[in-house]
Structure 1
């Protein structure tokens, strides 16, 4: 059976100092490949604990993936544990040594003996190049099973999986054969979970047999995960495509993409396609909108910049919001949101301007303007308008919801749809 188990290694995970985001990412990739993840485990850096968990997981899964413990320091014990587990010696692999030498030469630094420790792998292991770091991945097949050891740094782990390891994982999954469990995710924005469920109706009456539907809500929107059980890859692809089409018949206006796409990425892709640009003025979100937009590589193609105008004085000084207007209607108002959007658009020469002003909380609210009140302005070459929102009482959630609402509005406007 095509089962997989994930083992995260590191004291920092056990004591809660670091969140194990690797497990979620790897589990999704396993699902894409048709593996059924049957166990998640976390152990510290002690050799005995790592070995004990390897023995347990090797018994229950065809594929074991480990993260962490491949670095050059004394507490990196994974390679040693793998050598003992498979009854082999650690050997310096010439290819890994060459990779480390090339990297050191490129960076203009000497190659230390400590760094070279990362070239030590079990004798039968196939090293997998790390394109963004030093420690290689380790691939070992034995008795119809496989193990993939990866660095714990998320960027390095992901880079190895999506490059050097991917073909090995696909080949191994095909080699196992058997029934297939795979996933497809539709990403929505601008619609609440309950409304989405009403539009879709009962899943059993909408979806083909063998397909399950799950709702995954967040402040950014709702992801719809389709889980497909089928006897083969071809059958799985047919089922998931049927299910996808049936969902789109009901909710297409709210779907911004599939897979791991984010709302900011979807907005950015539309701006780039249209050759348009954006500037932002932020008060209660304090730069969160700009940060969200610039998380996307290449965002300089369409994001020109912004102003964080947290105080009334900043609004007046940098974006010419009149003091008299602030005294009369307050900073959290339609008029101020529209001026922020309009003036930041002109200041940067952008196609669109977004202005956000609100009361994030936990204090500062009044009966007329309670905590969670947010006004968002959107300026285009043709007009400027503002929309009023009342979110909740949690400061962090209010800031993220304001950003999500602004991006959703801009996305729908560019798609020619009414705001929600």
Structure 2
């Protein structure tokens, strides 16, 4: 069973709205073994709607449309579909009662427009709208399109999402006849080309029914391993073997095989080990601390964060030696090391990370170009001694991109050290 998604609305074609509905629908369908082969954006014009439906029903067993079911003049989906299939409209009494009750509670009369909202295409299965007024519809498109189904839903995300979860997915899950397993492989500190070369052997020998997708993003690249088949246990076993093979090849660059962020893994590791963390930031301006404290439960491990942007602040708050700054410059491994050590000692944390760098667009030198960052990590050993290391990296991007990538490098440095610590 294959599906196509059609998103109706001139606002999508003009760039006034981002289509968030289609990705949600595709993920939900994928979970019940129905792959999406095409996503279409369509104008509010009735003929354009009909043309999109006809071409989609020719290529897919299931077509899902969002948008154009409201009470305004530009909501034309229902009538366009009715005319295409040559069917009338009937009142869906449960939907009408929900609408009427909604307005009665607000002491407002039920207008003819609202009653029209409860009209559905003849022969369809009405989809209750628990978050709004207009019901959705599941339509068996026979005889013209035998064996094909068309689903109509509102474009309002909250309404559509509830319809998918409560009605659409339960309706089509028994009909899909397939299972799909998606497993993300989250990486950090490696680019797409290098990652591809490391896992080339695995990629070249993927079993039938398994695909590998590269998902580049602002701070790196992740992978998605997808396996489909008719036997659930075989699908899950094949998927697991491929994921394990990739993780073995990519080694420490893989930080998770589930949909989690790097900061979530860092916080989880800190909590599991019973350790505390503090941060000292210059070029990242508090972004490392912000990402860590975005994670629920981080109060159990995050002690404090200092934004020591100026050289004076580094000296006054972290105890960095002015002579170190004078000799090596603020953006240097020695300064990052002293920042991390000072943060560790003054906060009382078990581990600390520090950042100092050049986010751009100015401030660079031939030896230290824009995108240079030095990350220092300091940690305590069980015997009370302190271990400090600093790394210099060069990123490529604008100021905002560099700050984000600098923070990723800091979190990566924390995770690497945390895995080495024994408590």
Give TM-score, length-normalised by structure 1.
0.76
What SS class does the counterpart of residue 60 from structure 1 fall into? coil
- Partners of 1:10 and 1:371 lie apart in 2 by 43
1:42 aligns with 2:41: yes
Distance 1:364 1:401 in 2: 18
Deviation at 1:388, TM superposition (A): 1.1
Per-residue deviation, residues 334-375 of structure 1 (Å, max 9, x unmatched) = 344345445556676654433222111222211121111011
For 1:21 and 1:94, locate their aligned partners in 2 and report how far apart those are by CA, in whole Å. Answer: 29
Q: Which of residues 397, 401, 405 is equivalent to 2:401?
A: 397
Q: Corresponding residue for 1:372?
A: 371
Relative to structure 2, which stretch is displaced further, 192-201 or 370-379?
192-201
Equivalent residue, structure 1, for 2:266: 267
CA, structure 1 residues 378+232, in 2 after alignment: closer, same or farther (shift >3 Å)?
A: same
Match of 1:127 in 2: 127
Q: Secondary structure at the match of 1:363?
A: coil
Written as runs of structure 1 = structure 2, the 5 A alignment for 1:17-416 is 17-69=16-68, 75-78=74-77, 81=80, 87-89=87-89, 91=91, 94=94, 98=98, 120=118, 122=120, 124-128=124-128, 134=132, 138-142=136-140, 143=142, 144-150=147-153, 152=155, 161-162=164-165, 165-174=168-177, 183-203=182-202, 206-228=205-227, 230-296=229-295, 299-300=298-299, 302-303=301-302, 306-312=305-311, 326=325, 329-342=328-341, 350-382=349-381, 383=386, 384-416=388-420
**Matched length:** 407
Unpaired runs of 5+ residues, structure 1, are none
Aligned counterparts of 1:301 and 1:219: Cα–Cα separation in 2:
29
What do the CA deviations read for 1:147-179 (whole angstroms, capped 9, x no partner)? 4445546566556545654333422323xx6xx
Q: Distance in 2 between matches of 1:54 and 1:362?
A: 49
Q: How far does residue 14 in structure 1 lie from its aligned partner after superposition? A: 0.8
1:284/1:234 Cα in 2 relative to 1: closer, same or farther (>3 Å)? same
SS of the aligned residue for 1:415 comes to helix
Paired residues of 1:96 and 1:136 also in contact (CA < 8 A): no
Deviations 1:252-306 (A, max 9, x none): 5433223533323333333343344444343333444344445555555555564
Shift of 1:322: 6.8
Q: CA deviation at 1:111?
A: 7.6
Instruction: Indicate conservation of the 8 Å contact 2:202/2:245, yes or no.
Output: no
Is the CA contact (8 Å cut-off) linking 1:139 and 1:146 kept in structure 2?
no
Could you tell me how far apart the structure 1 residues matched to 2:356 and 2:137 are?
A: 52
Q: Structure 2: where are the runs of 5+ without partners?
A: none
Q: CA RMSD in A?
A: 4.2
Distance in 2, Cα, partners of 1:94 & 1:351: 60
Max radius of gyration: which structure?
2
1:396 shift after superposition: 3.5
Distance verdict in 2 for CA 1:266–1:370, change over 3 Å: same
How far did 1:184 drift?
3.4
Alpha-carbon separation, structure 2, partners of 1:332 and 1:7: 51
Q: 1:93 to 1:362 in 2, by over 3 A?
A: farther
Q: Secondary structure at the match of 2:420?
A: coil
Distance 1:322 1:129, change over 3 A: farther
Q: Contact between 1:280 and 1:290, CA under 8 Å: does it hold in 2?
A: yes
Measure, in 2, the Cα distance between the counterparts of 1:102 and 1:249.
57
- Single out whichever of 270-279 and 339-348 deviates more from structure 2: 339-348
Shift of 1:330: 3.6
